[in-house]
């Protein structure tokens, strides 16, 4: 009791001290109030009057995005709005009735307009409708005398000229979300748009520019009297892409209707000439604002229209991976180019059987035959001899299993399995059978179409570590690179004769009657293509089914059909363009993907010669010599 009363006394003393402190601080507030509202009142009254000069932020026009030749891909469009200023109407209801005859206004919309008119002072414009058609604008202008208080206002909105065909590359703009507000006052402007995906997102700051300001004089009630001073902002920079619009459109059209992806890159510079993923979406719809039904359709579509499959789609490479396995084996020296393997149609490892795609086998095959005819048993054998970790190392050298670093958001790295990876990720030891499966590009291995194109470019350009680039120039400033792989990119250090063997074999895949893509060869002289087919199962074939006969793709539901793949380059004798094609559930690589690749490479070469004249030998870069030797052999 005694102790508590002692405590209570101390408490009391301290409480009074604390309260006095608070009183002092509150008096300071009163003092400040006196200073501001009495001593300085006159000055602030003047300033309040001067506050009638109002500063408004002006949004700069967003930079255009153009293709490699300067053709616009995304620009800004005039966008018309109908505004209503209630003090200019004689009778609000009358004006709305009249407007209703030109463009129907629903009862709920009408209520919203009237509510907003009441909430604001009578000179504040209220938006009646946005995104007007030109025809509506014309009708309103014509009927202007009957529509007192109605005005047309012009703004700018983003316009994607080729819609779906470039949607995944360009991305889209949409309203700023609260988390994106960063201190740039532009972002707080009503109606301001920010890049949300693709190039629009990656280069948002450059495209955005900086805001200007307009000083306007307003009266004591805020009505604008006149503009006093105007500072235009810095318009957004123009972004030039490496994309060739003509080729891009051709590729998109060729893939249309399928769930597919294709990438074309210049093997020397790494420039991405075309990169298409189908189906696409309409980026203009995002800018306008999607209805929830539209959004649900996009999200629930099994063909994933929102995904850029070229960088975010991950597929087993299938037989397109066989070049990697062959190079790993040759470089390691576990086989020689001429040593042969007998293919009976099946090979065994322990109890497991590993089948070749050709039921009765290929007989004796050497390295070149194995690629040309895509013999699985040959690759089971050399994969077993080479080992998974060496195959993985070669995969990495050719650009698989890691992001290419292309300047687009959402790129996936894919997966190149190793013993260590499996131990870490699945906590299980590596089985030799899995090495065999990896030998034909199945199993854990996952690649993106862009990685496949990079891989092909590296094989075709004489073993230089090409990396893809999409941005050619920002604001006219070249994102510099020289055109020859020797000076721009490091050599991967793969022996020349091994690369030569692989590219010759790829030439035979398309141009030898035994090749798996012979039907898709380019017959025009000097423009032959080389390549490799791939067909990837997405389901397991049971033993029973194998005995009865494997079910044909066209008899399966779409989701269970094989993926069709093709990687290739052209011209075969002096490579310039590398392509990868993936058609999800498209059937066979040779029947579905190869013809697409042929059409793409034909078009790329046709456009090239149309642009520079005939492809001449001066045009060839440092890979020229080796290519000539190849032609002789």
Partner 1 sequence: MSHGALNPPDLSFGQKLLHIHWFFVLLLCLTAGIGITMLYSAANGNLEPWASRQAIRFGVGLVVMIGVALIDIRIWMRYAYALYAVTLVLLALVEVSGFIGMGAQRWISLGYFNLQPSELMKITLVLALARYFHGGNIEDVGRPTFLIIPLFMIVLPAALVLRQPDLGTTLMLVMASGAIFFVAGVRMWKFAVVIMAGVAAMPVAWQFLHEYQKRRVLTFLDPESDPLGAGYHIIQSKIALGSGGVLGKGFMQGTQGHLRFLPEMQTDFIFTMLAEEFGMVGGIGLLGLYSLILVYGVALSLRCRNQFGRLVGMGITATFFLYVFINIAMVMGLIPVVGVPLPLISYGGTAMMTLLIGFGLLMSVWVHRDVMIGRRGGDEV
Give residues in contact with partner 1 (CB under 8 A): 1, 3-4, 6-8, 10-12, 14-15, 17-19, 22-23, 25-26, 28-30, 32-34, 36-38, 40-41, 43-45, 47-48, 51, 54-55, 119, 121, 178-179, 181-183, 185, 213, 218, 220-222
Distance CA 598, CA 616 (A): 21
CB of 12 to partner 1, least distance (A): 6
CB closer to partner 1, 41 vs 299: 41
CB of 34 to partner 1, least distance (A): 7
CB of 368 to partner 1, least distance (A): 57
Start-to-end C-alpha separation, the chain: 110
CB closer to partner 1, 3 vs 552: 3
Ramachandran category for residue 259: left, alpha or beta (phi over 0 → left; psi -120 to 50 → alpha): beta
Which among 389, 349, 340 is positioned nearest to 367, based on CA atoms? 340
Give the C-alpha distances (Å, rounded to integers) separating 510 from 63, 303, 530: 44, 30, 6
Q: Is the dihedral of CA 52, 53, 59, 61 positive or negative?
A: positive
CB closer to partner 1, 177 vs 301: 177
Which residue has tokens 């040593």? 339
Distance CA 461, CA 492 (A): 11
Task: Tell me whether residue 319 is one of the annotated catalytic residues.
Answer: yes
Distance CA 251, CA 601 (A): 10
Which among 473, 474, 469, 471 is positioned nearest to 450, based on CA atoms? 469
DSSP 221-240: T--EEEEEEEE--BPPPPEE
Which among 306, 309, 166, 170 is positioned nearest to 246, based on CA atoms? 166
Catalytic entry in 252, 259, 316, 319: 319
Chain-centre distance for alpha carbon 257: 19
Contact 309, 582 (CB under 8 A): yes
CB closer to partner 1, 11 vs 342: 11
Q: For residue 257, give the DSSP letter.
A: T
Distance CA 291, CA 598 (A): 39
**Helix, coil or strand: residue 76:** strand
Contact 439, 371 (CB under 8 A): no
Distance CA 531, CA 527 (A): 13
CB of 522 to partner 1, least distance (A): 54
Chain-centre distance for alpha carbon 520: 29
CB closer to partner 1, 20 vs 344: 20
CB closer to partner 1, 15 vs 228: 15
Which among 600, 597, 195, 157 is positioned nearest to 408, based on CA atoms? 195
CB of 9 to partner 1, least distance (A): 10
CB of 198 to partner 1, least distance (A): 23
Structure tokens at 592: 């579905």
CB of 178 to partner 1, least distance (A): 6
CB closer to partner 1, 22 vs 353: 22
Contact 267, 576 (CB under 8 A): yes
CB closer to partner 1, 2 vs 552: 2
CB of 126 to partner 1, least distance (A): 14
Residues designated as active site: 319
């Amino acid at each position: 009791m005694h102790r508590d009363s002692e405590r209570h006394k101390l408490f009391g003393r301290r409480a009074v001290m604390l309260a006095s402190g608070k009183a002092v601080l509150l008096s300071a507030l009163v003092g400040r109030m006196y200073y501001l509202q009495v001593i300085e009142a006159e000055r602030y009254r003047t300033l309040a009057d001067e506050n009638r000069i109002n500063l408004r932020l002006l949004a700069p026009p967003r930079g255009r995005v153009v293709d490699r030749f300067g053709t616009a891909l995304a620009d800004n469009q005039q966008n018309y709005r109908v505004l209503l200023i209630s003090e200019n109407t004689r009778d609000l209801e009358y004006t709305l009735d009249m407007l209703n005859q030109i463009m129907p206004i629903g009862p709920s919309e009408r209520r919203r307009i009237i509510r907003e008119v009441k909430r604001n002072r009578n000179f504040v414009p209220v938006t009646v409708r946005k995104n007007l058609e030109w025809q509506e604008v014309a009708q309103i202008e014509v009927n202007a005398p009957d529509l007192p208080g109605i005005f047309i206002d012009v703004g700018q909105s983003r316009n994607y000229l080729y819609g779906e065909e470039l949607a995944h590359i360009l991305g889209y703009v949409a309203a700023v979300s609260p988390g994106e507000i960063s201190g740039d006052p532009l972002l707080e402007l009503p109606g301001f748009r920010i890049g949300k995906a693709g190039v629009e997102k990656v280069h948002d700051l450059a495209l955005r520019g900086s805001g200007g300001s307009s000083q306007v004089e307003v009266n004591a009630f805020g009505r604008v009297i006149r503009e006093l001073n105007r500072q235009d902002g810095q318009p957004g920079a123009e972004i030039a892409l490496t994309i060739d619009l003509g080729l891009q459109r051709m590729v998109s059209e060729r893939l249309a209707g399928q769930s597919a992806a294709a990438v074309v890159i210049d093997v020397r510079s790494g420039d991405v000439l075309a990169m298409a993923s189908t189906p696409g979406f309409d980026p203009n719809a995002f800018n306008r604002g999607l209805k929830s039904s539209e959004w649900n359709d996009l999200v629930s579509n099994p063909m994933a229209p929102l995904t850029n499959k070229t960088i975010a789609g991950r597929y087993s490479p299938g037989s397109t991976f066989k070049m990697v396995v062959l190079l790993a084996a040759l470089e390691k020296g576990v086989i020689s180019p001429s040593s042969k393997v007998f293919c009976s149609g099946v090979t065994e490892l322990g109890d497991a059987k590993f089948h070749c795609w050709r039921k009765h086998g290929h007989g004796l095959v050497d390295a070149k035959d194995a690629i040309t005819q895509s013999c699985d048993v040959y690759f089971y054998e050399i994969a077993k001899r080479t080992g998974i970790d060496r195959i993985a190392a070669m995969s990495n050298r050719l650009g698989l299993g890691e992001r290419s670093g292309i300047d687009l958001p959402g790129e996936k790295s894919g997966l190149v399995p190793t013993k260590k990876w499996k131990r870490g990720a699945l906590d299980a030891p590596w089985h030799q059978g899995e090495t065999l499966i990896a030998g034909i590009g199945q199993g854990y291995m996952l690649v993106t179409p862009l990685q496949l194109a990079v891989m092909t470019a590296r094989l075709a350009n004489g073993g230089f570590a090409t990396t893809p680039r999409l941005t050619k120039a920002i604001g006219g400033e070249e994102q510099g690179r020289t055109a020859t792989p020797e000076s721009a990119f490091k050599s991967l250090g793969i022996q020349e004769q091994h690369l030569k063997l692989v590219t010759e074999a790829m030439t035979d895949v398309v141009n030898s009657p035994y090749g798996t893509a012979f039907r898709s060869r380019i017959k025009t002289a000097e423009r032959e293509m080389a390549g490799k087919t791939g067909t990837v199962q997405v389901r397991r074939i049971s033993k029973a089914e194998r005995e009865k006969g494997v079910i044909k793709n066209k008899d399966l539901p779409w989701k269970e059909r094989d993926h069709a793949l093709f990687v290739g380059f052209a011209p075969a004798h002096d490579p310039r363009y590398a392509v990868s094609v993936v058609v999800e559930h498209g059937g066979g690589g040779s029947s579905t993907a190869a013809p697409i690749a042929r059409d793409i490479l034909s078009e790329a070469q046709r456009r090239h010669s149309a642009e520079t004249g005939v492809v001449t030998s001066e045009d060839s870069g440092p890979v020229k010599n080796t290519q000539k030797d190849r032609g002789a052999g």
